[in-house]
Amino acid sequence: MNTRIAGLYAITPDLEDTADLCYRARAALAGGARVLQYRNKAASPALRLELALALQALCAARGGPLIINDHLELALQTGAAGLHLGGDDGDIAAARAELGPDRLLGASCYDRIELAERARAAGADHVAFGSFFPSGVKPGAVRPPPALLAEARRRLDLPVVAIGGITATNAPQLIAAGAG
């Protein structure tokens, strides 16, 4: 793989307004985000394509990777740098075969290191754990302990992403535990 993710990994909210979404994405990138994941569970396929293309153009201009959540075809169609799959969003090995070796592929592993080990074996090049803190997006999500990040760093030779309810106030404890 040509790219490895590192640093602040921002995930977009479910918005339907392209200008608003791009404004927020620009702000996240200007504020230090090094990776942007486009995640929208509510948009129609046509709107999702419009928003993803706008974000891809923004990320290309800023030099940061855009990762598409859940939608392999959208990642391929937009030329995004990669794809992120949740537990029920598709087969990681099949996605790796479609993406090829040069695009990023991440996997949600929630609070389970064994999911991360399986994802790595299937071709994922980074793994995400969380939700570490309460979040309006997934209020009932599992809450792994921050120590899971350090364990993942020790057991896997992959970037480890922490997600869920992260703010400037609580982020340092996750970084210290191994996120990044």
Write out the catalytic residue numbers: 39, 108, 138
Quote the tokens at residue 137.
Answer: 């997006």
Distance between CA 19 and CA 6 in Å, rounded?
Answer: 27
Q: Output phi, psi for 165, to 5 deg.
A: 65, 25
Distance between CA 85 and CA 103 in Å, rounded?
Answer: 13
**One-letter amino acid for residue 73 of the chain:** E
Residue 139 sits at the vertex; the CA angle it makes with 86 and 115, to the nearest 5 degrees, is 30
**One-letter amino acid for residue 140 of the chain:** G
**One-letter amino acid for residue 48 of the chain:** R
H/E element, 1: none
Contact 80, 74 (CB under 8 A): yes
